[in-house]
Amino acid sequence: MQVVNFYSRRKARAFADIYAGKLVDPDLTPELWRDGLDTWIVQTYLRLRQQSDLPFHCTLSAKFMPDAINVAHRDEASPWFRPASCYTVVIRADRPPVLSADQVVVQNPGQIGPNHTFIPFWPQPGLVPRVPLPTARFRNLAFLGRPEHLSSAFTDGGLQRSLAAMGINLELRRDRWYDYRDIDVVFAVRSEHPAMIASKPASKLINAWHAGVPAILGREPAYQLTGRPGVDYLEADTPAEMLAAITRLRDDPDFYQRMITAGKIQAELHSVAAVAKRWIEALSGDLAPDHSSGRFRFVRQRWRALQEHLLARQWRDR
């Protein structure tokens, strides 16, 4: 049976019990999953181990394994340090382009290219949905994430004063990203270079669908390729657009509810089960080894590693 080895050296100490064989349910430990290595490597291993009748055997290791499909994050997959003889699938995430891997997993459907496979990011583990109320409530607007990634136009105080005049509270939440119980609307407008935004996943939209909460989001490729602006989320790039979207949701309860209903339909298509199925299909098909010649494969990898290094410098400079 084919072996799929999820590799992370950095996480071996933090998740020592899981590396030793303990199977943890990510939905019971939502506070653990906060960075790319946690979610893309350790959580994917656990989610796949939860599936029955896997067509391959999964391992989690601090070493690359020969005769296995090694799945590694871009942060730990330097072509200069990983064994050239090991077949490697690299998860690019929101990092510079990857050229030297045998296969690449991207989290944004707009990044598809040769030897690239799109797999959606997992929904937020342990997500607690908004509490349905018998009467309409429109009181709490929240940004879930690191405020330093939020456009400064939304943190200078002007937006908060405008919202307060409407009777709406604005919360910038650094933790408890899984808890939507008292949130009526979520928003996110990043202040980053377009190259970085183009590599981001649609997670904030997908999590909002699962939570039963309308989302107001910046005009990002992942959102536009995944959802339908005006149907299952709203777009805004400025505080004025944000206030207009909020006013529409507040003043039209039927529209507010239709957006929640449309999001629930989308949530079914982006469930844990759906993402697990995509991983299984990919690891059994597009990401499977091609058994190319070891000698020529080594030369090809080293040449691509040099190109990858130069591209990474350009990407970071931008």
pTM: 0.89
CATH node for 140-269: 3.40.50.2000
Place of tokens 């019990």: 17
Q: Give the start-to-end residue ranges of the domains of the chain.
A: 3-123+272-317, 140-269
CA dist 244 and 253 (Å) reads: 15
Where in 55-188 does DSSP place strands (E)? 57-61, 69-73, 88-91, 103-106, 116-118, 140-144, 169-173, 185-188
Per-residue pLDDT of the chain (318 residues; tens, 9 = 90+): 899 999 999 999 999 999 999 999 999 999 899 899 999 999 999 999 999 889 999 999 999 999 999 999 999 988 777 887 899 999 999 998 888 889 999 999 988 888 899 999 999 999 999 988 756 678 999 999 888 878 878 887 788 889 999 999 999 998 889 999 999 999 999 877 788 888 899 999 999 999 999 999 999 999 999 999 999 999 999 999 999 999 999 999 999 999 999 999 999 999 999 999 999 999 999 898 865 545 445 556 655 666 666 666 666 666
3-class secondary-structure state, position 185: strand
